[in-house]
Structure 1
C-alpha cells in the first residue's frame, strides 16, 4: 500500500493544483511530513490520512487504492486531419488519451510535474502570416533559441514543459500528428504518429502543432487559414527571414540544387518549405517560384538531415523510477505499453550495448 499511497498523495495534490505547503496547512502537518509521505519515507497515521483525504475531497479508500489515471485530451488540433470521420476521430483520441494517461501517471510517480507557461499568451490575436512570423521571432527571443539552426526540437519542447508522445495509430490516422491540452489548458501535449516519416516532416509537424498550442488565433478565421498561419509560424521558427536573406541574398531569379541541399541539411527543413519561405520573404520572384513548383522532384533527392527527433523524457522518467524501485518491471512495461517479456528484452538489449 505504501507506494500506492505515496503516488496517490502526489498525484491528487498536483491535480488539485496544491503545493506541499498548502496541503500541509490544510492537513495540519509540516511540509517535511508531506514530503515524507509522498516519497514513501513515512506513512501518515489514521487521523492524518483522514485529513489528507478530506483535503482532496476523496474517501480514504480512494486514497489508498491503486487505479489507472484517466486524462482526457481536450481542445484537439489535427495536422491536416480535418477529413477524419467521427469514428476515426474517436479512435485516434482514445489511443492518444490512453498513452497520455500513462505519461501523466508516470509523471506523478516520478514527481516530475513540469509546469508550462505560454510565452505568447499576452500577444494580440493572429490574423495574418506577418503576425505569425512576428510571433515566431518573439518565441525565439523569449525562449533564447538564438539565431542559428535548431538541432533537437523535441528536446527543446520537452524542456519547456510540452509533453511529446508517439502513438501507433495504424490505419485510424495516417497524418503526422495532433495536439491538445490536459486539465483546462494546464498541460500542452503534442502527439506524433509513430510511423516511418521523413525527419524534416516530423520537425515541421512539431512546430506546426506548437503554433496551434501557443498562438491565439482571431475568432473569425477559417480552419484553412488557421492551418496556413501555423505553417507560416513553423517555417519562420525553423528558418527566420534574416537567416534566409543571409544565406541566399535578395532578388534571386533561381536557386540552385546545391544551395537548397545545404540549407536542408543544416537547418532540418524540407526543400519545399525552404522555397515557400524564400517566396514569402520576396527573395525570389513569383515566376521563379512557379517555375520551380512545376519541376517533378522528390525531397529525398536533395539529401538528408542527419539529426534525430525522438521523445526522451518519458523513457528518462521510466528508467529512473525503475532503478529507484518506485515501480517494478511489470508496472514499467504497462506504462510503456508493452508486455513484460518485450520490455525485459528491451532492457537486456540496452545493457548488452554498453
Structure 2
C-alpha cells in the first residue's frame, strides 16, 4: 500500500512540474517528509494526505489506485480517409496504455518525468494561414531559429512529449496517431512501427504535434483540421523565409536537383516542398499543377540521412541499469522483452 501511494504521489508531483520543496511548502510539511513519502519509507497521516491531495488537485482515491494510466486517442480521422474500427481503436489504446505505463514508471524510477507545457496555449486556429503563424511562433518559443531540425523525435522527447513506436498487429497504412493521458497532462505521439520513408516520418510527427498543440476552431470539419495540421507541419519543417532564401521569388518552375538538395538538408519530402512553394506563393497554382502531372516518385529522388528513432526510453533504461536502480528482470519487463533476450541485446550493446 505504501509503495502504491509513493508511486502515485511521485507521478502526480512530477506531472504538475513541482519540486519536492515546492510541494512541501504547499502542503505545509518538510521536504524530507515528502522525500520519505515518495520513497515509501513513511506514509502521511490522514490530515497530511488531504493537504497533499489539495495541493496536487487530486482525490485521495487517486493515491491508492493502481498506477495504471489511461490513454485516449485524439482526432481519429486521418488524411487518407481511413477509419479505425471500434475494435482496432480499442486495441491501439490498450497497446499505448500498456507501453505508457512502463514508460512513466521508468521515468519515475529515473526521476526524469518531464512536465509538459504547451507553447501555443490559448491560440485559436481557424485556417492554414494562422497555422503558419503558429509554426513560426513555435520555432521562436522553442528557440529553433531557421535551421533544420535534425532529430525531431529526440527534441520533442526533451520537451515532455512521449513518442512510442507500436506494431498495431493489423494492416493500417497511416503513419502516426496522437493522444493524451493523465488528464491531458501527458501528450503522446504513436508511430506505426512499419518501415517508412524518413522524411515522411518527420512530417507525420509534426502533423500529430499540430493535433496536440493547436486549439483548432470547433466548427471546422475533419478535412479542414487535417489541412491545418499539414500546413503546421510543413511550416515547422521548412519556414517560409528559408524557402524564399533557397529558391528566390516568382519562380515559374523548380528543378529536381534544387528540390533534392532541400529534401536532403531539411528532411522534408519533395512533394511537401512543392506544397510549401505553392502555399507561400513562390510558384503559381498552375505551375504546381503542372509539376504534379509529371508524377515524380518522391522516394526515387534524394534521401534524408538523419535519424528519427525515439531514444529516451532506452536511454533511461540503460542508465537505471548502470546505476543499479533496476535489475535485468525489471528492465526486461519494462521493455517488453524476455529477460534472456534482453540480456543478449544488452551484451551486444556493451561489446559494440
Match of 2:56 in 1: none
> How far off its partner does 1:238 sit?
0.6
RMSD after superposition? 2.7
Q: 1:117 to 1:29 in 2, by over 3 A?
A: closer
Of 208-217 and 183-192, the range deviating more from structure 2: 183-192
Choose from 63, 74, 81 the match for 1:76.
74
Deviation (angstroms), 1:289: 1.1
The answer to whether the 8 Å contact 1:116/1:160 transfers is yes
Q: CA deviation at 1:174?
A: 2.9
Aligned to 1:332: 331
Inter-partner Cα distance in structure 1 for 2:92 and 2:62: 33
Partner of 2:128: 129
SS in 1 for 2:120: coil
Between the aligned partners of 1:258 and 1:5, the Cα distance in structure 2 is: 60
1:290 and 2:289 aligned: yes
Structure 1 runs of 4+ with >3 Å offset = 1-9, 11-19, 21-29, 36-40, 47-56, 78-82
Partner of 1:169: 168
State the alpha-carbon separation in 2 of the partners of residues 264 and 82 from structure 1.
28
Name the TM-score, length of structure 1 as normaliser.
0.88
Match of 1:315 in 2: 314
Local SS of the residue matching 2:258: helix
Shift of 1:187: 1.5
Counterparts in 2 of 1:250 and 1:186: CA distance versus 1, 3 Å: same
SS at 2:228 equivalent? helix
Q: Is the CA contact (8 Å cut-off) linking 1:73 and 1:182 kept in structure 2?
A: yes
Q: Unmatched 5+ residue regions in structure 1? A: none
Distance in 1 (CA, whole Å) between partners of 2:262 and 2:146 is: 14
C-alpha contact (below 8 Å) 2:73/2:93 kept by paired residues? no
Shift of 1:8: 5.1
Query: Which ranges of structure 2 fall in alignment gaps of 5 or more residues?
Result: 54-59
Cα distance in structure 2, aligned partners of 1:52 and 1:324: 33
Residue 276 to residue 15, structure 1, CA distance change in 2 (3 Å): closer
Provide Cα deviations, 1:268-324, integer angstroms capped at 9, x if missing partner. Answer: 000000011111111112222111111232212211001001111111211122222
Residue equivalent to 2:100: 100
Look up the SS of the partner of 2:294 in the other structure.
coil
User: 1:9 Cα deviation (Å)?
Assistant: 4.5
1:257 is matched with 256
- For residues 35-74 of structure 1, the aligned pairs below 5 Å read 35-39=35-39, 43-44=41-42, 48=44, 57=60, 62=64, 69-74=67-72
Determine the C-alpha separation between the residues in 1 that align with 2:69 and 2:46.
26
User: 8 Å contact 1:271–1:299 — kept in the other structure?
Assistant: yes
Deviation at 1:33, TM superposition (A): 3.4
Distance 1:59 1:73 in 2: 16
Question: Shift of the alpha carbon at 1:218?
Answer: 0.7
Distance 1:203 1:130, change over 3 A: same
Q: Which residue of 2 aligns with 1:89?
A: 89
Q: 1:226–1:328: structure 2 CA closer, same or farther, 3 Å change rule? A: same
Q: Tell me what 1:277 maps to.
A: 276
Q: Does the 8 Å CA contact 1:202/1:309 hold for their aligned counterparts?
A: yes
CA contact (8 A) 2:17 2:115 kept: no
Farther off after superposition, 98-107 or 233-242:
98-107
* Aligned-partner SS, 1:294: helix
Contact 1:88/1:172 (8 A) holds in 2: no
**Which residue number corresponds to residue 112 of structure 1?**
112
How far off is 1:250 after superposition?
A: 1.4
Q: What is the SS of the residue equivalent to 1:166?
A: strand
Find the aligned partners of 1:307 and 1:59 in 2 and give their Cα distance: 42
Please state how far the C-alpha of 1:13 moved relative to its aligned partner: 4.6
